[in-house]
A and B are shown apart, each in its own frame.
Chain A
Amino acid sequence: MSHHTIDLTNILYTYPDGTTALRNLSLHIGHGEAIAIVGSNGSGKTTLLSHLNGVLFPTTGTVNIGGYPVVQGTLTHIRRTVGMVFQNPDDQLFMPTVYDDVAFGPLNLGYPPLEVEKRVISALKTVGAYALKDRPPYRLSGGQKRAVAIATVLAMDPAILVMDEPTAALDPLARRQLITLLHTFSHTKIIATHDLDMVLDLCKRTIVLHNGSILADGPTLEIFRDRDILEQAGLEQPFSMQSCPICSKI
């Protein structure tokens, strides 16, 4: 895996309807980091993620991934480098069977059939969904869909894994399994989420977004201890850091 850094410089993004979602945002993410992007609803998390693989282009400012600027001409390379797991797995799983879906990316990248098969099997085994390979995606449970959605991205062997609300709508067991799985990845991970307890488990660094700009950026524990910042960003300390409601001990 080559060294992929992410650099965002003075990003401003305005949606066609005139809403400014990102304001003057600059950011550097090093190779192999696990980063959480937290913030209230509408703080610009998803918009920020969409800039990382050219789903959206900044109105002003530049995005640089591993030395390549994200522009129309570099999209193939960028999208091979940055794997994006969408918030709703139903949007991501569009092929008739799980196998076809995971094979979609590698086939588009032009890998030979044998290599595609190898990648699909290995990606499905990594997320523990190999047994589901012939099932149609609409027959899967929420947790299974999420696992397969991650496999579709892993099969393309990205260096950077970007996830939008990966634990949303998962039951506690499926959530735990997902966290355990994410622990095993050595990729650079960027996770936008409201699940601050997961952030504590997974990410050393946290970026707090508020109204489209960075309110705080630093070690996760430090940020979560600062109640003022959390309150300002419309967040709350993770449950594991709050005192016990029964015995009032932390």
Chain B
Amino acid sequence: MIKLESTWLNLRTIDDLATQKTFIHSLNSCTKLITTLVFVVLVTSFSKYEVTSLLPLLFYPVALMSLGNLPYKPIVKRLLLIAPFIVFIGLFNPVFDQRPIAKLGSFLITGGWLSFLSITIKLLLTVTSALILVATTGMNSICTALSQIGVPKPIVIQILFMYRYLHVLLEEFLKTNQAYNLRSFKTAGIHYKAWGSLLGQLLLRTMDRAQRIYQAMLCRGFDGKVPLLSAARWTKKDHLYLLFCLSFFLLCRFINIPQALGTLLTGGFQ
């Protein structure tokens, strides 16, 4: 119980980091959203055996964390939270893909291990960049930016409302769970027979609440449109940031920088 609550509080901490005033925080939310989206698409576009050319991209999250004055701990903690998923996604690659790709001394590297490593790095990069986006921009501004770049408003509003009421619903669930625990003496956790009615209750209460919120919205003239905050304007800073990031990404995508550096050092150009 306490664990669940504290995880929840941590989720808000990431959002709270967005109130800081650094160079990254001062950028237009659209700029940051577009950069992050491009970054994610670019990272996933690498071939499944690519490892070395992904490495320079690590520079992006590290630079952002340092420029945005973000603490490493909460971000690393969240990465650990999703680590099991990463492992599960790539778990069977080394088993099924035994094709030898390279030899490191007497150690044979198979395609499976390479793709496993590649998936891990890709997920690390994409998840970190998404977390950084929340920590430097905040959910509300992200939603404004989403609607600005053309995401349909109903979807944006769904996200906003979900984020707003996640807290209320979780609290309701925790209270229900506590009430259950206080009156169930034999078993630890929730007995499988009780799950149905507990979740059913929660669903019914959620529907009731949705109805009340809808009525409250109607009372204030709701006609299907939710007025969102007007977004900040683009400045020169945003253009430069976008230009710099995109050129860096493209450079990383089309030139294998570690390999090029290696060739340079070992005199490959001579």
Taking beta carbons and an 8 Å cutoff, which residues of A are in contact with B? Answer: 50, 53, 55, 75-76, 79-80, 83-84, 86, 88, 90-92, 94-97, 100, 103-105, 107-109, 113, 136-138, 152-153, 156
* Chain A residues closer than 8 Å to B223, beta-carbon distance: 108
Question: Judging by beta carbons under 8 Å apart, are A138 and B167 in contact?
Answer: yes
Spot the interface stretch: B83-91, B100-108, B207-215: B207-215
Total interface residues in chain B, CB < 8 Å: 28
Taking beta carbons and an 8 Å cutoff, which residues of B are in contact with A? Answer: 139-140, 143, 160-161, 163-165, 167-168, 209, 212-213, 215-223, 225-230
Minimal Cβ-Cβ distance residue in A for B140: A96
Question: Judging by beta carbons under 8 Å apart, are B167 and A80 in contact?
Answer: no
Number of A-B contacts (CB under 8 A): 71
Question: Judging by beta carbons under 8 Å apart, are B220 and A91 in contact?
Answer: no
Considering the chains assembled together, what is the distance between the CA atoms of A79 and B220 in angstroms? 7
- Given A104-B217, A104-B222; 14 other pairs, CB 8 A cutoff: A76-B221, A83-B219, A86-B216, A91-B213, A91-B216, A94-B164, A96-B160, A100-B227, A104-B227, A105-B220, A113-B230, A138-B164, A138-B168, A152-B220
CB distance from B21 to the nearest CB of A (A): 13
Question: Judging by beta carbons under 8 Å apart, are B212 and A86 in contact?
Answer: yes
Minimal Cβ-Cβ distance residue in B for A109: B221
Contact of A156 among B163, B218, B221, B226 (CB under 8 A): B221
Considering the chains assembled together, what is the distance between the CA atoms of A95 and B213 in angstroms? 11
Considering the chains assembled together, what is the distance between the CA atoms of A90 and B167 in angstroms? 11
* Chain B residues closer than 8 Å to A137, beta-carbon distance: 164
Considering the chains assembled together, what is the distance between the CA atoms of A90 and B169 in angstroms? 11
* Chain A residues closer than 8 Å to B230, beta-carbon distance: 113
Question: Judging by beta carbons under 8 Å apart, are A84 and B219 in contact?
Answer: yes
Considering the chains assembled together, what is the distance between the CA atoms of A97 and B229 in angstroms? 10
Question: Judging by beta carbons under 8 Å apart, are B220 and A156 in contact?
Answer: yes
Question: Judging by beta carbons under 8 Å apart, are A107 and B227 in contact?
Answer: yes
